[in-house]
Amino acid sequence: MFKIKSSVIQAVVSAMAKSVKDSGIGDRNVYIKNIGNDIVSFYFTSLDLSAEKRISAEVKGDFFAATSMKELAIKVAALPSQEEIEVNFIRKGNGQFLQLVWGSNGRRSEMTVTVLNEETEFLEVPLPEEKVLWGPKVLSHLVNKFKGFTVKSSSNDARNSPVLSGIMISQNTSGHCILRATDRHNSVTFISRDYKWLEKDVIIDTSYLHGISNLIPSDCEVEVGINEQASLVIFQTPDTTCVCRVLNGKYPEIDKIYDHNVECKYIFDRPELMELCSRVLKIVDTGAKLVKFETRKNLVFAVVPNVLEQQLGATVEGLKWSFAVNAEKLLECVKFFEAEDEITLYIKDPGNKPITIGSDEEPDIQMATTPYKVNGINAGNKSKVMV
């Protein structure tokens, strides 16, 4: 069938197996076939996500084989490194197998992988009606930045409202990409001026994007297209093609919840706030992960009841409201801003209204987190006056 370096087939199969796992599409088979005399195609298909990777190899004749992705990944991972592997098709008894052969200096070793009696249509790539080019690291940026703002596809929240597991991608009047995500606890709207988007809006499950990012190296440019019906998004590089189905449904109008016109602002040093949230998560590993912020004689304290009391170098402008939030959710928000030194939390009716989060240096990021309702948190607060 074909000859290939063990390190090459290990990298391809490992990436595909990880893509299947992270995308949540369930167990898949992998289909292997030749394209001419020097290309081997590995691909998997599903209703929601399909992908193909093509690699150079020394091909001997036409072939097609189907096998379990799980079994192939286990067997290929066990191959020795930096060996030339000869892949053959063999029959033993009533079964058929892929035979992986290697060896040198008169030694010969082999391993077999079960071939399934199954055929499937070759991955058909829909013709994009329009497409754009994303630069290196854009795809991995989407996955890493937005994973804290969507729900898992397998969760009850996603079953009740599937769009909450996805990122809404649209275009503003300047052609720039607008990204929106919400899990109904955290919400974010981000305008990227570094890359473009298309005229049609889509919602893509973050699990599918995670799976695709496993197949496409972060340093590659990616061509992204949408089919005519705006039901499929196509991601392509010279050796990789991924096709994913968009999520159907109306996305929540999260832009309405951001409010900077408030009477209370907490201004934090970003590294200090991140360190605090991380500390809270270490000492409160279950439950609500609640942290309360309050002022005492113009000093700001973070309090985990009966566990932690930490004075912060933050300042408060306006009314001295106290408020409580989920430390894990707040940390996801603060991490999004990356290099910014100061983060402002805009407090309006704490306990009832979302808290808007922003930075003067990053006006293209709008964000909000939902506070906890804590009985009596501002009862008897005599500082409800302008300071």
Name the percent of the chain lying above pLDDT 90.
Answer: 77
Res. 386 pLDDT band, cuts 50 70 90: very low
Same domain, 75 and 189: no
Same domain, 262 and 338: yes
286-290's contacts with Cβ under 8 Å and 24+ in sequence apart are 288/326, 288/372, 289/326, 289/327, 289/328, 290/324, 290/325, 290/326, 290/327, 290/372, 290/374
Residues 222, 134 contacting (CB under 8 angstroms): yes
- pLDDT at residue 316 greater than cutoff 60: yes
Same domain, 84 and 174: no
Q: Which residue type does 375 have?
A: N
Q: Of the given ranges (5-9, 39-43, 285-289), which has the lowest mean pLDDT?
A: 285-289
Name the percent of the chain lying above pLDDT 70.
Answer: 97
Residues 113, 97 contacting (CB under 8 angstroms): yes
> How many CB atoms sit inside 10 A of residue 43's CB?
20
Residues 323, 351 contacting (CB under 8 angstroms): yes
The order of strands in the sheet holding 299-304 is 308-312, 299-304, 290-296, 323-326
- pLDDT at residue 1 greater than cutoff 70: yes
- pLDDT at residue 190 greater than cutoff 80: yes
Same domain, 153 and 205: yes
54 domain residue, yes or no: yes
Domain endpoint, select from 114, 138, 162 = 114
Same domain, 262 and 320: yes
Per-residue model confidence (pLDDT) at position 385? 36
Res. 72 pLDDT band, cuts 50 70 90: very high
230 domain residue, yes or no: yes
Q: What is the mean pLDDT of the chain?
A: 92
Residues 324, 375 contacting (CB under 8 angstroms): no
377 domain residue, yes or no: no
* Full DSSP string of 164-218: GGEEEEEE-TTSEEEEEEE-SSEEEEEEEEEEE--SS-EEEEHHHHHHHHHHS-T
Q: Is 357 helix (H, G, I), strand (E, B) or coil?
A: strand
124 domain residue, yes or no: no
Span 233-245, pLDDT tens digits: 999 999 999 999 9
Same domain, 246 and 290: no
> Residue 80, exposed/middle/buried by CB under 10 A (0-12, 13-18, 19+)?
exposed
122 domain residue, yes or no: no
- pLDDT at residue 108 greater than cutoff 80: yes
Instruction: Look up the CATH number of the domain holding residue 288.
Output: 3.10.150.10
Domain endpoint, select from 203, 221, 254 = 254
Span 16-50, pLDDT tens digits: 999 999 999 999 999 999 999 999 999 999 999 99
Same domain, 101 and 163: no
Same domain, 178 and 229: yes
- pLDDT at residue 379 greater than cutoff 90: no
Same domain, 297 and 356: yes
Span 209-233, pLDDT tens digits: 999 999 999 899 999 999 999 999 9
Res. 384 pLDDT band, cuts 50 70 90: very low
381 domain residue, yes or no: no
Same domain, 172 and 207: yes
Domain that holds residue 290: 258-369
- Domains contained in the chain, number: 3
Same domain, 172 and 285: no
152 domain residue, yes or no: yes
Q: Of the given ranges (1-10, 112-121, 216-225, 232-241), which has the lowest mean pLDDT?
A: 112-121
Span 334-373, pLDDT tens digits: 999 987 789 999 999 888 899 999 998 888 999 999 999 8
Res. 127 pLDDT band, cuts 50 70 90: confident
Same domain, 98 and 145: no
Average pLDDT of the residues in 287-312? 94
185 domain residue, yes or no: yes
Domain endpoint, select from 223, 254, 285 = 254
347 forms beta bridges with 264
What's the predicted TM-score (pTM) here? 0.90
Per-residue model confidence (pLDDT) at position 381? 64
